[in-house]
Amino acid sequence: MKPRLGVNIDHVATLRQARGEKYPSLVDAAHKALESGADQLTIHLREDRRHIQDYDVPAVKLVCERYNRPLNLEMGASEEILDIAVATKPEWICLVPEKREERTTEGGLNLKGEGYSRVEAITAKLRTGIPGVKISLFVEADLDIMECCAKLNADAVEIHTGDFAIHYNREEDVSRFLEDFKRCHEYSKQAKFAFHAGHGLDDKNIIPLLELGVFEEYNVGHWIISQSLFTGLEKTVADYCKLIKNYQV
Active site residues: 44, 74, 199
For the chain, list the strands marked E by DSSP: 4-8, 40-44, 71-75, 92-95, 134-139, 156-160, 194-198, 217-220
- CA nearest to 130, candidates 75, 56, 170: 75
Number of H helices, E strands in the chain: 11, 8
Give 198's strand partners.
160, 219
Cβ atoms 150, 188 nearer than 8 A: no
Q: How far is CA 156 from CA 18, 163, 171, 189, 203, in A?
A: 33, 20, 30, 11, 24
In whole angstroms, give the CA distance from residue 215 to residue 198: 10
C-alpha distance across the termini of the chain, in Å: 6
Q: How far is CA 247 from CA 1, 139, 147, 243, in A?
A: 8, 24, 28, 8
- Rg, C-alpha atoms of the chain: 17
